[in-house]
Structure formats: structure tokens, C-alpha cells
Amino acid sequence: MTRQLTDRPAAAAGTVASDRRRGRWSARTRRDFIVFLALALPNLALIAVFTYLPLINNMYYSTLDWTLGSASATVVGFDNYINFFTSADAPKVLGTTAVFTLVTVGGSMVLGLLVALALNSEVRGTTFARSAVFAPYVLSGVGVGLVWLFIFDPGYGVLSWLLRGIGQQSPQWINDPQLSLVMVIVVYIWKNLGYCAVVYLAGLQSLPQDVMEAASLDGASGFRRFVSMAIPLLSPTTFFLLITTMLSSLQAFDLIRIMTPLGNGTSTLIYEAYLQAFGAFNRAGYSASISVVLFAILLVITVLQVRFVERKVHYS
């Protein structure tokens, strides 16, 4: 009896496979396929319309010399790409993108891990602290940007007031391009720290306690257990965060738009694309080419991460 029950699915699978080979579908397969279509088609249609259609449209626009608002455009092939990569702005924009992405990803993850370690302890007020750390992540970027602009304002901001209290002048956070980038990075990390902390906290709480206790009994110090055991065991979490925070940083927009509307010193690829099309320039075709460059970079980074970084991940 047991054997019959065990063999049945295999037999059924063999039948389906042989049916497929013969080009016939069983009633059950057909029914399953209809259910699959009913569930998948709406999603596929939405993805096609809202992701792939704009993507392909954008690639087409990137081959045009098109001023936003104009009804006509000229096909220019790859001129927009050539103009971008040969412009004086390209190194600045690519450099700003790299600095912003590396510092915000690194900062959010390292600080997130440290905060997660602190929140992982069983002391009073931990629940409140966890909520407080995560809260900025769910706040509107526009609201966060406006509040932090007030804090950083060199004229009457809170930070300026504190600095004056110790006899110092406030730096020109908003007008100085280099300091603007620092300001936006600080706020971005503050806002996204909670996300990394919560994900790392979940990772820490799922670490195998028996293994950690065994290491402790063997005399491994807390630091040693963290470096040699916790960090490797957290590698799936780190890998997940690396991909999601990097994609998120490369697409960061709201804080940059609110805090530095001119993008002076803070113009990352995505913000440069916005400024070129919807800022003062209205170069829609040129902007589309920058968007395609960003898409290519995101694609390459994701493929590299999945292809190479994932090999280092310790899943069990």
C-alpha cells in the first residue's frame, strides 16, 4: 500500500511527461495551465506595460535629439551616448554616483549591523528602540529632506545654532557642492539605516544557537564568535542587503531632489537624467540615454553580484 502511494506521483509524472512528448495534455494539466494563466497573465501584462514597455520606449527615445515638449525629434543614433561620455559632466556624474552608492551602501550596512547587534540584546526598551530605528525608513523622503534641510541650514538651522554655541561658524552645507553630497549621504544613511538593522536583526535571531553556544563552551570570545561565526552565517543576509541597498541607492531620488534641487555636487546618474529632461534643459533624448546607461550599470552589477558574490555566501 505504502509502495503504491509512493509510486503514484511518479507514475503520474511519467504519464504527463509522456503525454507532453506525444503532444497531448491531460485534463488535469490543462486545468493547471488555465489556473496558471489566470494567475500569471495579469501580472505579466502589468510588468509588460509598466516595466518593459517604458524600458523599450526609453531605449528608442535615447536615439533621438528630442526636446521635451516638442512634437518633433531627429533620429541621431548613438550621438546622445557619445555626447554624454565625452561631456565634462560625465566624470562628475559617474563619480558622484559611485561615491554616493558606495558610501550609502557601506554606511547603511555597517551601521545597520552594529545597531542590530545592539538591538539583539534583551534589555528594557528594546522594542521601543527597534521601532525608533526603523521609523525613518517608512517616513516620506520629502518630509525627511525638509526637516533635515532645516537642521543643516547655515543661517538658522539647529546644527548652526549648536556650532555657534561653541564659537564655530556653520559650514555651507547647502551651497558647497562637496558638503551638499556629504549632507545628502548622511541623511540617506540615517533614513535607510533602520531597514538594514531590521533585516540584520532577523538574521542574528535566526543564527543556530547550539553552534554559537558550542563555540562559547570551546572558549571563543564574543568578538571571535562574531567575526568567525556570526558574520559568515549572516552572509545570505549580507548578500540580500547588498543587492537591495545598492539598487535602492542607485535609484535614490527624493532626498536629492528636495535637499539639492540644482543637483550641484549631488547629481547622480538618475538625478542627472531627471535634470536633463525635466529640469531646465528639456533634453529628453539625452536624458533617456543616461537612463539606459544607468540600466546597463544596474544590470551588470546585479549579474556580477549573483554570479560571483553569491559564491561566497554561506547558506547553511
Partner 1 sequence: MARNLDRRHFLGLAGAGAGAAALAACGGPSTGGGTAGSGAADIDFSGVKPASSIDFWTNHPGKSQDVEKAIIEKFQAKYPEIKVNLVTAGANYEEIAQKFQTSQAAKSALPGLVVLSDVWWFRYYTNGNIIPLDSLIKQLDIKVDDFQKSLVADYKYADKQWALPYGRSTPLFYYNKDHFKAAGLPDRAPKTWQEFGEWAPKLKAASGAQYAYIYPALAGYAGWTLQNMLWGWGGSWSNEWTMNCDSAESVAALQWAQDSIYKDKWAGVSSKEAADDFSAGITSATIASTGSLLGVLKSAKFNVGVGFLPGGPKNETGVCPTGGAGLGIPSGVSKEVQLAAATFLKFMTEPENTAAFSAATGYMPSRTSADMSAVLSKTPQIKTAIDQLAVTRVQDNARVFLPGADQEMAKAAAKILTQQGDVKATMTELKGTLEGIYTKDVKPKLKS
List residues binding partner 1 (CB under 8 A).
Answer: 20, 23, 33, 36-37, 44, 47-49, 52-53, 55-57, 60-61, 64, 66-75, 149, 153-156, 172-178, 260-262, 264, 275, 278-284
Cα dihedral value 82, 86, 87, 89, nearest 10: 110
Angle of helix 2-21 relative to helix 27-47, nearest 10 degrees, comes to: 60
Nearer to partner 1, 244 or 282 (CB): 282
Pick 64 or 246: Cβ nearer partner 1:
64
For residue 294, which of 267, 262, 257 has the smallest C-alpha distance? Answer: 267
Distance separating alpha carbons of residues 183 and 173, to the nearest angstrom: 6
Helices (H), 22-70: 27-47, 53-61
Minimum CB separation of residue 29 from partner 1 in Å reads: 10
Least Å from the CB of residue 11 to partner 1:
20
At residue 24, the 3 state secondary structure works out as: coil
Q: Which is nearer to partner 1, 22 or 311 (CB)?
A: 22
Nearest residue (CB) to partner 1, 204 versus 277: 277
**Are 256 and 177 spatial neighbours (Cβ–Cβ below 8 Å)?**
no
Min CB(73)–partner 1 separation in Å? 4
Question: Between residues 34 and 135, which has the closer beta carbon with respect to partner 1?
Answer: 34
Query: Are the C-beta atoms of 180 and 260 separated by less than 8 Å?
Result: yes
- Quote the least distance from Cβ 22 to partner 1, whole Å: 10
- Minimum Å gap between C-beta 28 and partner 1 is 15
